[in-house]
Amino acid sequence: MSEVIENNLVGDNRPEYSVSEVSGLVKGLIESEFEYVRIRGEIGRVSNPRSGHIYLDLKDERSVLAAVIWKGNVRNLTAMPEEGLEVIASGKLTTFGAQSKYQLIVEKITHAGEGALMALLEKRKEKLKQEGLFDVSRKKPLPYLPNVIGVITSSSGAVIRDILHRLRDRFPREVLIWPVSVQGDSCAVEVSRAIDGFNGLKDSDQIKRPDLLIIARGGGSLEDLWGFNEEVVLRAVAASQIPIISAIGHETDTTLIDLVSDIRAPTPTAAAEIAVPVLSEISNVLDKIGNRKWQRLKHKLSHSKQRLADISRSMPRSEEICALAVQRLDVSSERLPRGLISLIQRNKLKSAKVFAGLHPRFLKQAVELKHERTITYFESLSTSFQRNLDNKLINLQLKVTKLSSNDLHRETKRKEQNFNQMVNRLSSLKSKLIAPRLESLNKLDRLRETLGYKETLNRGYSVIRANGSVMTSVSAVIEKVQLEVEFKDGRIGVSVSEKVDSKKKQPNKQKNNIKVKGGPPKQGSLF
């Protein structure tokens, strides 16, 4: 009993709390004391889990505060959290009992002044530069005279009026306006959608796809122009198939869209001037070109007329050209009737002679004579044929009587033995006579190749020919203009320039007496 009393705390009437109760009390205290706060700090660690929430740290030089952005608030943010960015986070301060820590529930994030924006701008600029979005090689050339110009800007304000007025003054063109917000939270999204929308247009009767885009707005602060520094706009500009002119702010204002676009204009008015040429200047140039062409045409026409007149005067008249032919025609016309009459008379005489020989009595006599001759020839032919046939038959019978089967078999066997003996003799002669001679012939051929001029060419010598003949002296070479020099690997053609005295030694300044003009077409090059 006494031990129990000693272990108890005497006189302690304070209540006991559970862990959850303590966490709830701390939570209520903090939330009541810090209902809505704005905290300035640098963003540290940023986490983006699958849930869609964003977890981050706000820090300064001495402390770190945990923060969370619920999924429902992420899409309403005007500035997305990035590590190293100085911001002002607005929200409620609460606790997270599961980890015994307090945290900030962020509802809104804004950049902490212009310095933070500039730091973010430089960081984003360096990132896009490394990706190649600023490279000059990827920029597209502008059309000289676009038929349709798309303008992305606010539908109200002086910018669109200045652009339209400048286009009317220089060269009126069809203009399509896509109205967007040029500042604020929705600026970047609307501008990127406008760029994608113009690129997605298909040519039709109602709406034509622009040949050139102008993105423009008036001047403003860095915060006002920040929508044109967002990545969604910059990547839309880089992906555009239509050339883009950026005209954001005044001449001193610089945004990242100016670096990504195909060309930057200092002002919206200058963008219109860049987009189209001056109509009057083009008209003057065309007039000058037309006048020069007309003057050249007149001069050429006059020259052609004068040349035609000169040629006409030098040519004879048509009557003179045709006079001889007309005279020959007249002479032939006069001779033609007489010639026809003479020809007819000669043909009549020939016909009379032919018809005189065709009398029936003469034809009958000729036929009878031919018949008698045919009968006589047939009789003599039959007698001669019968006589020859009898002689052939007698000779055949004599040969048949001389031949018998045994004699024929013996004679055939004897002929076969003689043939086999001759074949054996020829085979032995091949091995005895042909083989040694073939070996001797091969030795002579190898000796010929060794002593031939081909081996001399392999040792660095060459053969000079002219018209298929080998040149063996300087006097013979000088008489030939074109020569052919054969080396071990081919032939080349050369020409003789001058004769060099072989007795003089000029080791350093000796002129070449042969110039190489190139080998024959089918022999290839030495090199």
CATH number of the domain bearing residue 187 = 3.40.50.261
**Domain end: 277, 300, 315, which one?**
277
The sheet that has 469-470: what strands, in order across it? 469-470, 463-466, 482-487, 490-496, 514-516
Number of domains within the chain: 3
Instruction: Look at residue 437 and tell me if it is in a domain.
Output: no
Same domain? For 84 and 36 the reply is: yes
| pTM across the whole model | 0.42
Instruction: Look at residue 405 and tell me if it is in a domain.
Output: no
**Which of 23-32, 219-228, 250-259, 301-310 tops mean pLDDT?**
301-310
Same domain? For 77 and 148 the reply is: no
**Domain end: 212, 247, 277, which one?**
277
The CATH number linked to 68 is: 2.40.50.140
Please check whether residue 68 is in contact with residue 54, taking contact to mean a CB–CB distance below 8 angstroms: yes
Same domain? For 273 and 162 the reply is: yes
Same domain? For 197 and 265 the reply is: yes
Instruction: Look at residue 342 and tell me if it is in a domain.
Output: no
Instruction: Look at residue 273 and tell me if it is in a domain.
Output: yes
CA 461-462-464 angle, to 5 degrees, is 150
Same domain? For 107 and 154 the reply is: no
Residue 297 has pLDDT above 60, yes or no: yes
> What are the pLDDT digits (tens) for 458-499?
777 788 887 777 777 777 776 556 788 888 788 888 777 665
Same domain? For 273 and 165 the reply is: yes
Same domain? For 104 and 151 the reply is: no
Token pair for residue 23? 């966490």
> What are the pLDDT digits (tens) for 343-383?
888 888 887 777 666 666 666 777 778 778 888 877 787 78
Domain that holds residue 80: 19-111
Same domain? For 29 and 107 the reply is: yes
Return the SS3 of 14: coil
Same domain? For 152 and 258 the reply is: yes
> What are the pLDDT digits (tens) for 131-169?
888 888 888 999 988 999 999 998 887 888 888 888 888
Task: Supply the pLDDT for residue 428.
Answer: 75
Distance CA(314)–CA(323), nearest Å, equals 18
Same domain? For 98 and 149 the reply is: no
Instruction: Look at residue 272 and tell me if it is in a domain.
Output: yes
Pairing of strands 482-487, 37-47: unpaired
Give first-to-last CA distance, the chain, whole Å: 121
Instruction: Look at residue 14 and tell me if it is in a domain.
Output: no
Same domain? For 144 and 261 the reply is: yes
Helix residue ranges per DSSP H, 34-157: 71-74, 113-131
Instruction: Look at residue 330 and tell me if it is in a domain.
Output: no
149 or 26, which is more confident: 149
Instruction: Look at residue 462 and tell me if it is in a domain.
Output: yes
Task: Supply the pLDDT for residue 6.
Answer: 47
Task: Supply the pLDDT for residue 517.
Answer: 44
**Which of 34-38, 257-261, 314-318, 447-451 tops mean pLDDT?**
257-261
